């Protein structure tokens, strides 16, 4: 009896998605994977929430900032090594300048915050009707923007970041680049808590590895693992469905999904290299309220959809 109670108390970590959907997550103590903001695929009257990471079988080509000092390049290399030693299975390889799938840059503005995006390529769309639990999807590109100085204080003063601050920020942004979007509440390099990042940054500078159960749990799932799949009104996904049909017809690459704190994006790339896509508003909120799904097409996507419709209309008219 006591044992049963103890087991119930510990419980298996569970992803709790919209409309009561649940998925057991890897049992790794200290993992905050349940707090992830998932990637989104809004297609064919279905909103699919899924996780995405790099294929650990292939080394990730990394480009350091072209204007990094020797000390900055050394610090970033140590941040990368800390993640290589974190038990995810990922490896990094130096890329030529201008190349790289994971690209670092220093923020152009002196006082800009750090930011990262990580693009997930979905290879099969629309989602298979059988309700498969894993999409063919993996990260293909990430860009990490790092600040060199602190945020301005109340008097507008800033100062250069210390090594521990730089390391903490680099480790956190790399966590996003490796596939964890959103933030953990606490006890994680993926928390928003700046003091926590600095502490962890200092530990790594002192020679510790980056012990991060949340990312280990993420990489314990196959990339593309579906967390939730929810039926929504077909009206809510019709813009994406029309774009996906056009993309298929014109042999565009994608779809590619991106997700941040306040907005997500899904897009295709034309053969000329132009992005055609749409914003998905309030991605984190959709975990609770999928019925609020709203897609906002870019001007370029709108134009392509309108001309696609015209072409289809003309073809029908001349038939
Ligand atoms: Zn963050």
> Do 26 and 174 fall into the same domain?
no
172 C-alpha vs ligand 1 centroid, how far in Å? 6
Q: Are residues 149 and 65 in the same domain?
A: yes
> Among the three residues 186, 220, 254, which one is the final residue of a domain in this structure?
220
Residue 39 in any domain: the answer is yes
Distance 73 CA to ligand 1 centre (A): 21
- Is residue 155 included in any domain, yes or no? yes
pLDDT given at position 247: 94
Residues 205 and 101 in one domain: yes
Note whether 239 and 160 are same-domain residues: no
Q: 153: burial class by Cβ within 10 Å (0-12, 13-18, 19+)?
A: exposed
Q: How far is the CA of 125 from the centre of ligand 1 (A)?
A: 29
Same domain, 206 and 85: yes
Query: The domain spanning residue 127 has which CATH number?
Result: 3.40.390
The answer to whether residue 7 scores a pLDDT higher than 50 is no
Residues 64 and 207 in one domain: yes
Least confident of 62-76, 101-115, 134-148, 292-306: 101-115
Shared domain for 309 and 213, answered yes or no, is no
CA 31 to ligand 1 centroid distance, Å = 17
- In the reported structure, the alpha carbon of residue 43 is separated from the centroid of ligand 1 by a whole-number distance in angstroms of 28
Q: Is residue 79 part of a domain?
A: yes
CA 251 – ligand 1 centroid, Å: 34
How far, in Å, from the CA of 1 to the mean position of ligand 1?
A: 42
Q: Are residues 178 and 242 in the same domain?
A: no
Domain end marker among 169, 186, 220: 220
pLDDT, tens digit, for every residue of 69-105?
Answer: 999 999 999 999 999 999 999 999 999 767 899 999 9
User: What is the whole-number distance in angstroms between the Cα of residue 58 and the centre of ligand 1?
Assistant: 25
143-197, pLDDT tens digit by residue?
Answer: 999 999 988 888 888 899 999 999 999 999 999 999 999 999 989 999 999 999 9
Evaluate if residue 1 carries a pLDDT over 70: no
Q: Residue 125 domain-assigned?
A: yes
Last residue of a domain, one of 220, 249, 270: 220
Q: Is residue 114 part of a domain?
A: yes
In a domain, 172, yes or no: yes
* Residue 150 and residue 92 share a domain: yes
The region of weakest confidence among 15-19, 36-40, 245-249 is 15-19
Query: For the chain, how many structural domains are there in total?
Result: 2
Asked if residue 55 is part of any domain, the answer here is: no
Summarised one tens digit per residue, pLDDT across range 255-301 is 999 998 788 999 999 999 999 999 999 888 888 899 899 999 999 99
Q: Longest C-alpha distance within the chain, in Å?
A: 77
Same domain? 36 vs 114:
no
If asked whether residues 76 and 210 sit together in one domain, one would say yes
Residues for the chain: how many in total? 319
Question: If you measure from the C-alpha of residue 192 to the centroid of ligand 1, how many angstroms do you get, rounded to a whole number?
Answer: 6
Tell which residue, 169, 189, 190, has the closest CA to residue 181: 190
Which residues constitute the domain of residue 259? 2-50+223-318
Please give the pLDDT value at position 4. 45
**Same domain (yes/no): 189, 259:** no
What is the Å distance from ligand 1's center to 273 Cα? 29
Distant-in-sequence, close-in-space partners of 100: CB < 8 Å, separation ≥ 6: 61, 62, 63
User: How is the beta sheet containing 60-63 ordered, strand by strand?
Assistant: 92-94, 60-63, 102-106, 137-146, 115-122, 253-259, 263-269, 275-281, 295-297
The reply to whether 286 falls in a domain is: yes
């Amino acid at each position: 009896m006591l044992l049963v109670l103890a087991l119930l108390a510990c419980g298996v970590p569970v992803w709790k998605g919209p409309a009561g959907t649940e998925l057991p997550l890897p049992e790794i103590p200290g993992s905050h994977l349940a707090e992830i903001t998932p990637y989104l695929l809004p297609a064919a009257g279905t909103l699919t929430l899924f996780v995405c990471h790099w294929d650990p079988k292939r080394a990730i080509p990394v480009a350091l900032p072209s204007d990094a000092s020797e000390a900055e390049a050394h610090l970033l290399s140590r941040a990368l090594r800390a993640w290589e030693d974190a038990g995810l299975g990922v490896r990094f390889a130096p890329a030529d300048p201008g190349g790289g799938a994971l690209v670092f840059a220093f923020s152009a503005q002196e006082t800009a915050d750090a930011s990262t995006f990580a693009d997930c390529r979905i290879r099969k769309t629309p989602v298979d009707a059988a309700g498969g639990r894993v999409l063919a999807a993996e990260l293909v590109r990430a860009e990490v923007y790092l600040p060199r100085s602190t945020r301005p204080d109340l008097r507008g003063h800033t100062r250069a970041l210390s090594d521990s601050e730089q390391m903490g920020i680099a480790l956190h942004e790399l966590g996003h680049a490796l596939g964890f979007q959103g933030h953990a509440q606490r006890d994680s390099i993926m928390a928003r808590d700046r003091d926590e990042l600095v502490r962890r940054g200092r530990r790594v500078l002192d020679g510790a590895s980056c012990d991060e159960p949340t990312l280990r749990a993420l990489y314990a799932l196959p990339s593309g693992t579906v967390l939730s799949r929810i039926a929504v009104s077909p009206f809510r996904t019709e813009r994406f469905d029309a774009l996906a049909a056009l993309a298929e017809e014109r042999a565009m690459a994608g779809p590619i999904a991106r997700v941040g704190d306040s907005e997500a994006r899904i897009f295709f790339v034309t053969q000329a290299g132009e992005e055609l896509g749409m914003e998905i508003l309030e991605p984190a909120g959709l975990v609770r309220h999928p019925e609020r799904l709203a897609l906002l097409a870019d001007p370029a996507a709108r134009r392509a959809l309108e001309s696609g419709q015209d072409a289809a209309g003309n073809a029908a008219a001349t038939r």
